[in-house]
Amino acid sequence: MIDESAKKKIEDGLAALPVVQYAWLDASEISFSERVREICRSECPRYGTSWACPPGVGSVEECRARCSSYEGAFVFTTVAEVQDIENMEETLSTRRGHEEITGEIRGIFRDCGLDTLALSGDSCACCSTCAYPDGPCRHPDRMIPCIEGYGIVVPLLAEKAGIVFDNGGNLVTWFGLLLWNKGLG
Ligand code: SF4
C-alpha cells in the first residue's frame, strides 16, 4: 500500500491537472492479452518503429512480468472534445496533450520518491526519429511506452478501476497507467 502522505501529495497534485477519473489498483489486477499485441502488429503503423512499441518493448509475457514487479498501479483518464469523433486525424491529434499530462503525473510520483513505469496512449515522440532498432533508447527516463503495446486490455482495466471506458459523443477518452514501487525513486 502507498503511504497516506504520498497518496495525498499525489492527489493534491492531480487537482491541478485535467484528469477526469482515476483509481488505485494492485498491479496484479491488470489483464494482458496476445490479441491486443496482434492488433498492434496488424494495424498500427508504429509497430516495429520505436523502443516504446512492440516488439521493442518485449513480448507480452515480458511486459506482464515487468508490470508485476511493481507494487501498485494508478490508472487515469483525460478527455478531449473534437468536432467529429469519426475523423481519425482530428481524434488522434488530441494524443499529445494526454501524453504531456502523463509525463506530469509521472513527475508527481517521482517527487514522492516512487519508482515508476508510465504507460500512455501513444508511442513515444521524444525524438524526431527513434533510435530503434540501431541504437539504445536515448532517453529511457523520459520515454513513455504505449499501454496497448504492452498487451494490456484497456476495457478490462477500465472495468476493474470503475472508470468509464468511452465518454461518448465527440469526447475522446485517453487512458494512462503508472506502475509504482516505494522508495526507489
Ligand atoms: S526517447 Fe527517443 S529513442 Fe527513446 S523511445 Fe522515445 S523516440 Fe525512441
CA-CA distance, 123 to 46, in Å (whole number)?
7
Question: Which has the closest alpha carbon to 106: 5, 17, 3?
Answer: 17
pLDDT, tens digit (0-9, with 9 covering 90-100), for 108-142: 999 999 999 999 988 888 999 999 999 999 999 99
What's residue 185's pLDDT?
Answer: 42
DSSP secondary structure string, the chain? ---HHHHHHHHHHHTTTT--EEEEEEGGG--B-HHHHHHHHHH-TTTTS-TTSTTTT--HHHHHHHHHTSSEEEEEEEEEE-S-TT-HHHHHTTHHHHHHHHHHHHHHHHHTT-EEEEEBSS---SSSS--TTTS--S-TTT---BTGGGTB-HHHHHHHHT--S---TTEEEEEEEEEEETT--
Give the mean pLDDT of the chain.
94
Whether the upstream peptide bond of residue 133 has omega within 30° of 0, thus cis, is: yes
Instruction: Output the pTM of the full model.
Output: 0.93
Q: How far is the CA of 54 from the centre of ligand 1 (A)?
A: 13
CB-based burial label for 114 (10 Å; 0-12, 13-18, 19+)? buried
Of all residues in the chain, what percent carry a pLDDT higher than 90?
Answer: 86
- Report how many domains make up the chain: 1
Per the structure, the complete domain to which residue 61 belongs is given by 4-181
> Which residue minimizes the CA distance to atom 8 of ligand 1?
130
Tell me what pLDDT residue 175 has.
Answer: 97
Residue nearest to atom 3 of ligand 1 (CA): 137
Tell me the pLDDT tens digit for each residue of 78-113. 999 999 999 888 988 898 899 999 999 999 999 999
CA distance 13 to 45: 35
Q: Judge whether residue 53 has pLDDT over 50.
A: yes
State the distance from the centre of ligand 1 to the C-alpha of 138, rounded, in angstroms.
Answer: 6
- Name the closest-CA residue to atom 4, ligand 1: 137
Atom of ligand 1 at shortest range from CA of 51? 5
